[in-house]
Structure formats: C-alpha cells, structure tokens
Amino acid sequence: MMKKYEMSDLGLLHHFLGIEVYQDEYGVFICQKRYTENILKKFGMYGCKPVDIPLVVNEKLKKENGGRLIDASMYRSLVGSLFYLTTSRPDLMFAATLLSRFMSKPSHLHLGAAKRVLRYVMGTMEYGIRFEKNSKFEAKGYCDSDWAGSVDDMKSTSGYVFNLGSGVISWCSKKQDTVAQSSAEAEYLAAGLATQQSLWLRRILEDIGEKQEGSLQLHCDNKSAIAMAKNLVFHSRTRHINIKHHFIRSVIEEGDVQLIFCSSQEQLADIFTKALPRGRFQQLREAMGVKEQHIKGEYEAYNTGDYINSIVNRQNTEAISNVLHPDDRSHQGKEMRLKQQYFFVSASLQDIIRRFKEAHNNFDELPKQVALHLNDTHPSLSIAEIMRILVDEEHLGWSKAWNILAVNKIFSFTTHTVVAEGLEKIPVDLLGSLLPRHLQLDILMGKARSAGQSADQEEDDETLVLVEYV
C-alpha cells in the first residue's frame, strides 16, 4: 500500500483507542489494562480488595428498592466506563447490562453493586482475550436466555456469543422486548437474535476472504426452541409470538444456520444471562478465551500526570491546570508558568524513573520503548529533564544516557494537548535558563545537539533526532 498511497509504516499495532494489542509468534492478546487503571482511579477504587465474581449470585436488583438516591451522572459515567471495558472483557457484559437498567434513578444499592464489579475488575486488570495462532478458523455460536430474570417487568434476558477458533469475537446481553410466556419462547427469541448476528458475521467473514463453508453452527440448550425453529407443526404453540421472530425458520431452511442442541454445561452464553457462582463463572470465562497474561511490556506507558494528580488529591488543592496556566500572559507570567511546569515535570519524571526501577533491575533491562505521556506541558522541558535525571540522578554516562534517549529512541514522548499549536510559545531565553548544562535544544527544529557542538554543523544525523510529535 505504501507504493500506491502516501503513508508511513508504523509497524505492528500496539495501542488503539485505549485497547492494548500484544502480538507474538503464538497469537494475539488484547486487553485494556491502562484504561482499567484509569477507571479505578477515577471512581476511587484503585487498590481496593478484589472479589472473584462481579455479581452476587441470586441477588435480584430492582428499580424501586427503597435505597437512598445518589448522583445519577456519576453512576451513568461508571456504567458507561464499564461498557467500554467490555470491548476486551466479555465476562463483564451481563454486569454492565444489568447496571444500565437503573440509570434513571440509581440508589446506593445499585452503586454498591457497581462498586463490587469494580472490585472484580481490580483483581482481573491483566485479563483480556487471547487468540491462538494455530486454532481452527471456524465460527460457531451459542445462545441462551434467563426466563423472567427481570423482577421489575418479568422480561427475560437474551445472550449470545460467537467464537472464531480460540477467542470470542462477538457477544451480547440484552433484555427482551416482550414478556415470554414460557422458557421455550424465551429461548426461541434468543435464538432469533443470535441468528441475525450470525448472518452479519457470515457476510463480514466473506468480505475479508474467510468465507465459511456450510452452515454456521448455533448451539441452544432448549429442545423445544429448536423444534419450534425447525417444525411448522408447532405453529399453534407459537401463534402469539411476533412474526418477525420466525425468520429463523427460513434461515435454517436456506442452510445459512444450523441450530444444534447442547447441554447446559456446554452452554457458553450462560454467562451473559445471569449471575453465576464462582466455579461456573471462571469455567465459562476460560472457555471464551478471557485469560490473564502478565505483560512485561514491549511497551510500557508512564503518565506525567499521575504524580501531579496524586499531589493535587493529597493536598486538596486547586486543579493542576489552574496552577500551570494562570491568566497572566506577560513576560513575567510566562516565566512563572515555565518555572511551575519545570518543577512539576521534574518531580513527575523522577517519580516515573523510580517506578520503572521498581519493575526492572537496572537500565540494561529497558524494554524496546517506554512511552512518556505529557499532560499539557512543553515537550522541550521533559526532553531535557529526562536527560538530566539519567546523568545526574542515576549517574549514567553521557553516552549511555544519550543512546537511551536519542539514538535508540527508547523513550517516546506524546503530548495530550488538543493541537500542536496549543503549546505555548516559550521565549528562548526563558527556556535556556532552565535547561540543564548538558543539553541545548533547537526548539523550532525539534533537534538536539550536545554541548559544545557548533550550530552550523549538520543536523540531519538520525542519531540527533530526539522526539517525534504524535
């Protein structure tokens, strides 16, 4: 594609919209560990005591439970965060769907159930979906229902899941639109919902060159529902069911889907319909390919805002943005603001180096890349300061520190400002007064040269490229 379009090859995918992707010779692992940490810190649950399952078995939550009303916006934010986490954590799908039913008037009892889910998340931060390389590339699905599971309106819950070899690729947990008059009807409606998704999956796989030969196998643990889908003799028992749900019969006749009976113990979709005991829950979680994988990272991310936010929270001071960005735009205001930034950046980077040393014995064990995320601070400050810390604080030689930072590009810097122009233009004399003696920076060119190198020397040497703005 690079021959036809103007584009850059950034290598293997590692991060995409909060999703972390780790690829090796045996397969692919996707997770959201960093996003999980942010959720727990946001709602004050980081470091809490973990639990083995997200929901209490046989606990029935309802809208009117006599509980004390809480902040609905905070509750909605929590539930929304959990929903995004289900991108790589299908084991959280039913819990998130259940909690979403009470977003209009949440009580402290609903919040307690949500916090229990966060406690489960705390103990499973390193879990994600593992796709093995040598697994058979064949799609198959499971559908199930929990008859009259909602105590508020007695509606049933449908659930389905599709896997492609070793890991699941599509899943759903949804309360049915109508009240089912029997468990067979509830299962029949769940099978119809799963059939719709199976047709879409077949088209998608065909578009990417992986056409599925034969019928897609859809497993159901209710023989009556299978009989209703295959045999028109049962029309007298299903005449009250909406006509739109009967399209499953034509799909089966055309051979696109094959409805197969499976035992309840083999029913993978059971985890999407109800709260399960620990043994059963962990069994189905493992069967879906949701596993724990300790990432001793090819890529490690450290955020300069972590240390600053901990200071702000501990001292109960004003927001850090107000500290770093006062309204004074005069020369003196810029000087004060730059010194404030330098203080916070220096403290943050020293904290990052401390955390890195706790995870690694020495700097010889550096991974291929460590990402430093800058929170609305000028990159030039962090670039120079990390060099000073490596040389002065960690007592590394100049050559070794320079190789770590510039030649091997082990540290990559990204900034969270909205646009590049959003970075304040800092006067060169102010910036130069704070830079360490080891380094002089050409801010406009984004290049660096060691002290003593003349300005008219060639600057196109790749070893001098210190930072690429992302």
Q: Where are the domains of the chain?
A: 32-125, 135-295, 299-464
pLDDT at 43 over 70: yes
| Sign of the dihedral through C-alpha 267, 271, 274, 276 | positive
pLDDT at 64 over 90: no
What pLDDT is recorded for position 193? 92
Residue whose token pair is 């916070």: 344
pLDDT band at residue 337 under the 50/70/90 scheme: low
pLDDT band at residue 310 under the 50/70/90 scheme: low
pLDDT at 409 over 80: no
Q: Please state, in angstroms and rounded to a whole number, the distance separating the CA atoms of residues 430 and 42.
A: 36
Pick the CATH number of 135-295 from 3.30.420.10, 3.40.50.620, 3.30.365.10, 3.90.226.10: 3.30.420.10
What pLDDT is recorded for position 24? 81
What pLDDT is recorded for position 382? 66
Report the amino acid identity of residue 23. Q
pLDDT at 435 over 90: no
Which residue did the predictor score with more confidence, 273 or 454?
273
The rounded mean pLDDT for the chain is 75
CB 186 within 8 A of CB 174: no
Q: Return the exposure string of 138-148: e unless at least 16 CB atoms fall within 10 Å of the residue's CB, then b.
A: ebbbbbbbbbb
Under DSSP, the state recorded for 465 is: B
What pLDDT is recorded for position 165? 80
Residue 81 is encoded by which pair of tokens?
């965060």
Which residue did the predictor score with more confidence, 420 or 168?
168
Under DSSP, the state recorded for 154 is: -
* Mean pLDDT along residues 204-230: 88
Task: State the pTM of this model.
Answer: 0.64
Pairing of strands 127-132, 139-146: unpaired
pLDDT in tens, 93-130: 999 999 999 999 999 999 999 999 999 999 999 899 99
Best-predicted range by mean pLDDT (353-367, 422-436, 443-457): 353-367
Cα–Cα distances in angstroms (integers) from residue 172 to residues 37, 111, 299, 400, 459, in the given order: 24, 23, 31, 52, 55
* Mean pLDDT along residues 437-442: 35
Cα–Cα distances in angstroms (integers) from residue 452 to residues 129, 165, 280, 455, in the given order: 52, 60, 68, 9
Tell how many helices (H) and how many strands (E) occur in the chain: 15, 15
What pLDDT is recorded for position 15? 80
Report the amino acid identity of residue 406. A
Bridge partners, 442 (sequence order): 447
Under DSSP, the state recorded for 107 is: B
Which residue did the predictor score with more confidence, 330 or 16?
16
* Mean pLDDT along residues 231-244: 61
Q: Please state, in angstroms and rounded to a whole number, the distance separating the CA atoms of residues 88 and 41.
A: 19
Q: Return the exposure string of 8-19: e unless at least 16 CB atoms fall within 10 Å of the residue's CB, then b.
A: eeeeeebeeeeb
